[in-house]
Amino acid sequence: MKTALTNTHVFTGEEWLEAATVIINGRIIEAVGTSIDIPDDVDCVRNLNGEKLVPGFIDVQVNGGGGVMFNQDTSLAGLRSIAQAHRRYGTTGMLPTLITDDRPVMEAAVTAMQEALDNNEPGILGIHLEGPYLNRVRKGVHQEDKIRSMETDALDLLSRLTAGKTLVTLAPEKNTSGIIRQLVERGVLVAAGHTAGVYDDYQAAFSEGLSCFTHLFNAMTPMESREPGAVGAALDNDDSWCGLIVDGYHVHPATLRSAIKAKKRGKMMLVTDAMATVGSDQDFFELYGQKIYSREGRCTTAEGVLAGAHLDMATAVRNSVELLSLSHDEALRMASLYPAEFLGLGNELGRIEKGYRASMVLLDDAGLVLDTWIDGRDTGMDGLDI
């Protein structure tokens, strides 16, 4: 199947092309430009009426969506529901995220993810295991009695997937020397999060291959005058990536603006930390047997503890422009190109260029999602499974 998308304002990942055409051949972008003749073998021509076509958003921290929490539905059907809910908001690639839980739940989650990857489920790039090897001092909403030391056979579980990407969030200071290196050698991406370490802990972790900080500022040691902590280590290191939750609740906009200015360009990426309420009419869900409420875009326990976010990627992009005064171009890169590069997929996702996978989002002038394509397939505006 070959498709031509015409009369569209294309953001390639680097520049905007006015009145451009994109030719899709199967899963791949065959051509992009402003003066392209439509090939005779094109099966479908669609006029996009001057709307904006941008690289598909990639979210590496998605706890739930569409009324489903991954922790409570570790099945292929659950993964499909989460991915379907988020692609309505431009997410064409994601890492469904399992937060701290018991070993059988982790086993079931990895099994379901393997099934999803074997089945080429649209938009699912791999799994994020956020815990349970964390620091109770910075547990956030993670259940304290489920946080634990790494089991002797945990490496096999954490590196079990035979396809896709695996991201593990752990507290470096609570894990034995060499663990991060062993994970990285097995192809696992390792992030620091829910951590109470000191600067030197992260220097040791960097030397082993630590490459990311999960939701920067939240559930980690702050930067202080004589102890840089996790935040200082993250901003000081040019090679690591940082996930940012730009919802106006998790981190003050001024703090985020300062961090973005301090960090090497290309290393800050938007994440949603989304919960089940995203893409759903419900305003609460259950986690660890307690109700979590979504009010005015903020997810909290009854006691007011932040518990993930009611945030989608399209909103995160708009917030980055409106709250952080970022250019639209840079906000889009933080939602697509930079996470693609973090995952090692920067040569196939995050750009609208010849040879790249045709995963794209159509936006109107207000930044609202009109349509999405995943690997060349139009998902439709109704968000139904493809």
Based on the fold, state whether residues 50 and 65 are members of the same structural domain. no
Based on the fold, state whether residues 270 and 369 are members of the same structural domain. no
Q: What is the pLDDT of residue 138?
A: 97
- Of the candidates 201, 273, 312, 378, the residue annotated as catalytic is 273
Based on the fold, state whether residues 161 and 280 are members of the same structural domain. yes
| Residue 218 annotated as lining a ligand binding site | yes
Cis peptide before 132 (omega within 30 of 0): yes
| Residue 215 annotated as lining a ligand binding site | yes
| Residue 266 annotated as lining a ligand binding site | no
Q: Report yes or no on 258 lying in a domain.
A: yes
| Residue 103 annotated as lining a ligand binding site | no
| Residue 226 annotated as lining a ligand binding site | yes
Q: What is the pLDDT of residue 365?
A: 96
Q: Report yes or no on 62 lying in a domain.
A: yes
**What is the domain range of residue 43?**
2-54+351-378
Q: What is the identity of the amino acid at 297?
A: G
Alpha carbon dihedral 336, 337, 338, 340, in 10-degree steps, equals 80
Based on the fold, state whether residues 154 and 24 are members of the same structural domain. no
| Residue 219 annotated as lining a ligand binding site | yes
CB-CB contact of 338 with 241 (8 Å): yes
Based on the fold, state whether residues 301 and 198 are members of the same structural domain. yes
Q: Report yes or no on 386 lying in a domain.
A: no
Q: Tell me, yes or no, if the pTM score tops 0.85.
A: yes
Based on the fold, state whether residues 49 and 63 are members of the same structural domain. no
Q: Report yes or no on 174 lying in a domain.
A: yes
- From CA 33, how far away is CA 374, in angstroms rounded? 20
Q: Report yes or no on 288 lying in a domain.
A: yes
Q: Report yes or no on 260 lying in a domain.
A: yes
Based on the fold, state whether residues 6 and 38 are members of the same structural domain. yes
Respond yes or no: is residue 239 known to be catalytic: no
| Residue 306 annotated as lining a ligand binding site | yes
Q: Report yes or no on 384 lying in a domain.
A: no
For each of the chain's 386 residues, which pLDDT tens digit applies?
A: 899 999 999 999 999 999 999 999 999 999 999 988 898 899 999 999 999 999 999 999 999 999 999 999 999 999 999 999 999 999 999 999 999 999 999 999 999 999 999 999 999 999 999 999 999 999 999 999 999 999 999 999 999 999 999 999 999 999 999 999 999 999 999 999 999 999 999 999 999 999 999 999 999 999 999 999 999 999 999 999 999 999 999 999 999 999 999 999 999 999 999 999 999 998 989 899 899 999 888 999 988 888 999 999 999 999 999 999 999 999 999 999 999 999 999 999 999 999 999 999 999 999 999 999 999 999 975 444 44
Based on the fold, state whether residues 110 and 180 are members of the same structural domain. yes
Q: What is the pLDDT of residue 381?
A: 53
Q: What is the pLDDT of residue 6?
A: 97
Based on the fold, state whether residues 60 and 45 are members of the same structural domain. no
Q: What CATH number does the domain containing 24 carry?
A: 2.30.40.10
Q: Report yes or no on 31 lying in a domain.
A: yes
Q: What is the pLDDT of residue 35?
A: 87
Based on the fold, state whether residues 357 and 299 are members of the same structural domain. no
Based on the fold, state whether residues 201 and 292 are members of the same structural domain. yes
Q: What is the pLDDT of residue 384?
A: 43
Number of domains into which the chain is organized: 2
Q: What CATH number does the domain containing 325 carry?
A: 3.20.20.140
CB-CB contact of 373 with 349 (8 Å): no
Cα–Cα distances (Å) from 128 to 4, 61, 264, 315, in that order, read 35, 7, 24, 22
Based on the fold, state whether residues 78 and 111 are members of the same structural domain. yes
